[in-house]
Chain A
Amino acid sequence: METLINGLHHVTTLAGDTQRNVDYYTDILGLRLVKKTVNFDAPDVYHLYYGNETGSPGTILTFFPYGGIPRGRKGVGQLTYTAFSAPTSSLRFWMDRLHERNIPYAGPYKRFSETYVRFEDFDGMGIELVFNDDDQRPGWDNGRIPAEFAVRGFHTVTLNEINPDKTVKLLTEVMQHTLVGEEEGRFRFKAGNGGPGNFVDVLHSPKDVHALQGAGSVHHVAFSTDTDETQLIIQHQLAEAGYHVTPVQDRNYFNSIYFREPGGILFEVATNPPGFAVDEPVAELGTALKLPPQYEPRRAKIEAELPEIVVK
């Protein structure tokens, strides 16, 4: 069987204040701002992409910062925690760092025999750091966090579901995931060969309230596919399975299709190419405001209306 889904591609979240968002993810978590662009469907709002040095699929966390929107609420029908992978040896470094920055964290805990800590960004976005030695991806040395301690990219996303059966069916029967573990109502699935960045946890949460969209809540999760051709195959298979999947949409750095999984979470399947170096060299990623061609004629107005961003 052809590999259509590789694992995680990106996670997109709504945020409040733009500069605080930049500070949190570049300074505190040590990710690289790899692309500064606008929401292609609403160019008065930034779309900020953070990731490793090149913004590899499986490392990319993106935000729409909407200014003062009200906070969301965690609950069912939502991706509640996005876990990043970090080396086992960095546990003490990260606990000290969070403590120094007055960021409350919970843990360290154990899950599937790995140690993790859990915390939230200033909007309430749920983050975990999972400490392991399985991750061969390079860390990015941004001058603040030594590469040996830096996060490697995603580890797992956690989907809270009232009734996980249909979501599990989607993951295993259409999206090529396999069950690799079960622990206290948490079902872990891997895509491909598994490993950090390729895990999805479905958490059976029958007593949770329904999630509300707002600042700090994940808007969608994207899975990676290799090419435009594999994307069309998975699009066809999703449609055959009864999902309302969208036509392919050009997002400049990847092509996307969207659909809602049975529990209500918005899923995307995004192509790996062309990637973030398509319109600026790797050394300069994230430095200039990049606009899709249709907005170039309006650049002056768009730039004037967007808040200024400083990567400290």
Chain B
Amino acid sequence: MIHNPNNIRTAGKPLEASSKVMIMVHGRGGSARDILSLAEYIDDKDFAFIAPEAQGNTWYPHSFLRPLEENEPYLSSALEVLASLRARLQSDFNFKLPQIYWLGFSQGACLTLEFVARNATEYGGVFGLSGGLIGPPNLVRSYEGSLTNTPIFLGCSDIDPHIPKERVLESETVFRQMGANVTAKLYPNFPHSINEDELNVVNLLVAGAQ
């Protein structure tokens, strides 16, 4: 285990007192504190927010487009952090899976989307901002499970230097085949960052999923 599963920060309502929780996963070079600052843009004030922090601020060392093994054992460790976080929310705070929401940015979005695909079930919502499923091009994806009733939003620039738009569209197709209600938006000429429209969509999906 490389990433410390204890290294987490929280914001919003206390976990004990909230009916919904959003797991926020930061990008390469980011931190739990950074990503939690997005909490103030979520209109629904009933959320608890929880963010794990990567060892050295990086979930895995190489591009998410490289062969999976090149990012091991970091990638497995990062996925285990999300698994243990989810398990903790279920066992210690009694959240049901549809009360759990996921939001990731950049590397954190890739990690979150990959985790959700590998652990498909009904979640409250999944928001992958500037990210896509992990692995080399033409990887055969055989995820098990169903994402029926899970709203998923994929937002990315169409010229993102890190995230090819093809991967965003491929992820959209995979999630749709797994039964999710997918909204994907490619923003023309946007930088690698989170924009206002993306936050609006997240808020709409959160509100619609109530």
Contacts and interface: CB of A to CB of B under 8 A. Distances in A.
Interface in B15-39: none
Interface of A: 14, 39, 41-42, 44-45, 64, 66-70, 73, 212-214, 219, 244-247, 258-260, 266
Q: Could you tell me the dominant secondary structure of chain B's interface residues? A: helix
B209 interface: no
B69 A246 contact: yes
Contacts of A14: 1
Contacts of A244: 67-69, 72
Given A42-B55, A45-B4, A214 B73 contact: no
Contact of B72 (A44, A69, A212, A258): A258
Contact of B1 (A213, A259, A260): A213
Contact of A41 (B2, B6, B87, B88): B2
B6 A42 contact: no
A68 B88 CA distance: 13
Contacts of B72: 244, 246, 258-259
Contacts, number: 63
Contacts of A258: 72-73
Given A14-B1, A41-B55, A214-B84, A247 B73 contact: no
B198 interface: no
B1 A246 contact: no
B70 A69 contact: no
Nearest to A219: B1
Contact of A67 (B6, B76, B87): B6
A70 B4 contact: no
A246 B67 CA distance: 10
A70 B73 contact: no
B180 to A, nearest CB: 22
Interface string B95-117: 00000000000000000000000
A41 B3 CA distance: 8
B69 A66 contact: no
